[in-house]
């Protein structure tokens, strides 16, 4: 990057969209645990709107549930957390730094609508509080504008464990 002020240093500056390569630069997750396919809107230090394309090919549908495939709620919350991870990493300018975003707490998780194969799951996450290495977020997952799940969660940004 040039010596000009990075976008992450300008509050409220926007970056969008981010393709899968950019998502993978922000997150260490890979198939089958990468649950963010693209970012449609990112307002640094504020919010993110990302997409998870839910396909029948995903392994969890084989057992959850045969005859009525539904995305597990815990994976919906994980998708929200990954979107929050992209928001945090991009806002703090940490892409490709090796820093990890660790889940610390999940609060007020509520599930409103089953998420089935063929859906585009919209993940919307906002910063609630941002401190040095600990951030709080509020997230909502929806399908076709209908609320599927929501949660508040806390994460910590840290170095990966030493080998």
CA gap 86, 56 in Å, rounded: 25
CA-CA distance, 51 to 19, in Å (whole number)?
A: 10
64 assigned to active site: yes
Q: Answer for the pair 40, 17: CB distance below 8 angstroms, yes or no.
A: yes
Question: Of 146, 94, 97, 95, which Cα lies nearest the Cα of 124?
Answer: 146
Q: Tell me the β-bridge partners of 147.
A: 142
Look up tokens 């599927």; give the residue.
Answer: 148
b/e burial code for range 40-50 (CB count within 10 A of at least 16 → b) = eebbbbebbbb
Whole-number Å distance between alpha carbons of 1 and 95: 12
Q: Could you say which of 64, 116, 133, 152 is catalytic?
A: 64
> Roughly how many angstroms between the first and final C-alpha of the chain, as a whole number?
30
Residues designated as active site:
64
């Amino acid at each position: 990057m040039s010596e000009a002020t990075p976008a992450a240093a300008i509050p409220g500056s926007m970056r969008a969209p981010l393709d899968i390569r950019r998502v993978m630069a922000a997150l260490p997750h890979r198939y089958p645990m990468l649950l963010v396919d693209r970012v449609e809107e990112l307002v640094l230090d504020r919010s993110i709107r990302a997409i998870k394309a839910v396909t029948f090919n995903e392994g969890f549908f084989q057992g959850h549930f045969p005859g009525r495939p539904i995305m597990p709620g815990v994976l919906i919350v994980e998708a929200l957390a990954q979107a929050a991870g992209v928001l945090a990493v991009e806002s703090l300018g940490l892409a490709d730094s090796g820093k990890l975003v660790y889940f610390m707490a999940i609060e007020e998780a509520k599930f409103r609508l089953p998420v089935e194969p063929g859906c585009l799951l919209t993940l919307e996450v906002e910063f609630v509080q941002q401190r040095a290495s600990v951030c709080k977020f509020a997230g909502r997952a929806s399908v076709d504008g209908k609320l599927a799940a929501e949660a508040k969660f806390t994460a910590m940004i840290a170095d990966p464990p030493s080998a």
